[in-house]
Amino acid sequence: MQQKYGEDIYQFGYSGKISVKDPRIIESLHKYWNAVVPLSEYKDNFIVPEVWIPEGIKLEGIDKIQFQK
């Protein structure tokens, strides 16, 4: 969205310079959500996959592994 609008609209939203309900932010969130790949369809084809779960995890519960190409 920064390329599309030429500015970091998320930073503007976080800092209060624009409303978080600004249509540009809403559009970008819709694009983000529509790009979701269900975990059941994931085939190791992302460099840094993002997995959302419905509960909190303490950092101590996350194992760090060495990045492998």
Q: What is the spatial distance between Cα 18 and Cα 16, in angstroms, rounded to a whole number?
A: 5
The residues near 1 (Cβ < 8 Å, ≥ 6 apart) are: 9, 10, 24, 27, 28, 31
pLDDT tens sequence for the chain (69 residues):
778 888 888 888 888 898 988 999 888 888 888 888 888 888 888 777 788 788 888 888 888 888 776
pLDDT for residue 23:
92
* Other Cβ atoms within 10 Å of 29 Cβ, number: 13
